[in-house]
Amino acid sequence: MPDGTLPASRLRESLGYLNWLYNPFHGLDAPGIYDLLATSSPTERGLYLNLGYWRDAADLDAASDALAMLAGETAELEPEDTILDCGFGFGDQDILWAQTFKPGRIIGLNITASQVEVARRRVSKLGLDDCIDLRHGSATEMPIESASVDKVVAVECAFHFRSRERFLREAWRVLRPGGRLVLADIIPAPSVRGFPARLEQRLSWRLVAGKFAIPPENAYTRPTYHSKLAMSGFEQISVESIREHVYAPLHRFLAEHPETLTRLHPMARLPAKLALRFEATSVYRGLDYVLASARKPKRLIGPGLGPDRRP
């Protein structure tokens, strides 16, 4: 502005970041966080907001694509599949899956209306409306018919759900017999020995959980994750940690390419730069990152019942 003042919208945005990131007594729910972040993605070519899978990736865009592809390959996405993508962000992974796996249909559910609006425009611009159907809706109360989809995928979002357990029950309901569920998810790391390391671990988790709307009921480690999938009726369960291909290489990339952070809002750059002053081991001590997969049994006991359920 000529007089040096910020437009009202920019001022509100800056105050929102200030309150979210720097006020210890204030937090936002997931839609509030993503409304605030808007399209300030650190990627260059897309609008991904995930942390990426860095086993073979050289930059953030490639790592973000790699995480989406890892989820898609683990889900065994195929032509003619009906896929339900929960928490689709701005639709980057749906566009990628449509162009590579060529499924029959992708239905997306996202509770953040502003992301749904942007994602729909991007899908339309690419002429993919016939394949990708993006909806505003909750992953814990899915407006989806029972036994109507072949695959359910949730990439880096289920930690927000209230609760993940409700999502697992809904995923089991909407999957056809034999259908697959895949999640790329953030959970607490296994407990470590030694008071300083345990304290660092606790602080690491609490900071992330508090600022990124992770409810306490979702704070459990891999063995409990596995048990909750089994209790929901799933079989062929795998809960694999891939944290070594996520946190440390992302940290290293950002340290080597600080210009990436300039794509973030100025209020978000300071904590990001501060984190880069520390070793990745310390910053992410409390965080595990898992790739979880499971299958709904092909044969069920009773109408709509899982193998360990009773009327």
What is the percent of the chain with per-residue pLDDT over 70, rounded to a whole number? 95
Q: What is the pLDDT of residue 1?
A: 45
Query: What single-letter DSSP state applies at residue 193?
Result: S
Q: What is the pLDDT of residue 26?
A: 82
In this prediction, residue 25 has a pLDDT band, given cuts at 50, 70 and 90, of: confident
- Once rounded to an integer, what is the mean pLDDT over residues 13-37? 91
Contact 103, 80 (CB under 8 A): yes
Least confident of 131-145, 195-209, 232-246: 195-209
Q: What is the pLDDT of residue 185?
A: 98
What is the percent of the chain with per-residue pLDDT over 90, rounded to a whole number? 87
Q: What is the pLDDT of residue 301?
A: 65
What is the residue extent of each domain of the chain? Answer: 28-295
Range with the largest mean pLDDT of 159-173, 192-206, 258-272: 159-173
Coil, strand or helix at 306: coil
- Once rounded to an integer, what is the mean pLDDT over residues 36-54? 94
Q: Does 305 have pLDDT greater than 60?
A: no
Q: Does 191 have pLDDT greater than 80?
A: yes
Beta bridge partners of 86: 109, 154
Report the alpha-carbon distance of residue 50 to residue 153 in Å, rounded: 14
Q: What is the pLDDT of residue 304?
A: 44
Q: Helices (H), strands (E): how many in the chain?
A: 11, 7
Contact 97, 103 (CB under 8 A): yes
- Once rounded to an integer, what is the mean pLDDT over residues 154-165? 98
At the topology level, CATH places domain 28-295 in: Rossmann fold (3.40.50)
- Once rounded to an integer, what is the mean pLDDT over residues 37-44? 92
